[in-house]
Amino acid sequence: EAGVVQSPRYKIIEKKQPVAFWCNPISGHNTLYWYLQNLGQGPELLIRYENEEAVDDSQLPKDRFSAERLKGVDSTLKIQPAELGDSAVYLCASSYGENTEAFFGQGTRLTVV
């Protein structure tokens, strides 16, 4: 079974440029998460989807961040415009319901210069 797939693995952009990250969750997993992991810290939730619906986006900086999950499968996280402080690892995870663990992708390491 394929795991959570994220792309790209690495991205370097100049500040004020837009950037997008893509995630393909494990087949059959209705719940999808985007986490932000700063250097030396644990992941922090940005947004959670149940199928197509964003059910928890309280930690998503909506002035510059947006996300979508069309058809309840793949998801895209976008930053526009990027700032230097956005440099971090962006992790996608999925799970198939309550009382189940989240499976994580390898992450996208973003460097904003």
Residue placing its CB nearer to another protein in the complex, 31 or 65: 31
Q: How many residues bind another protein (CB under 8 A)?
A: 25
Backbone angles phi, psi at 84, to 5 degrees: -55, -35
Residue 52 has, within 13 A of its CA and on its CB side, a CA count of: 2
Tokens of 11: 């991205």
Residue placing its CB nearer to another protein in the complex, 43 or 112: 43
When asked if residue 95 is in the footprint of another protein (CB under 8 A), the reply is yes
CA separation for the pair 63, 49 (Å, rounded): 19
Which residues contact another protein (rule: CB under 8 A)?
A: 4, 6, 31, 33, 40-45, 48, 56, 91, 93, 95, 98-99, 101-107, 109
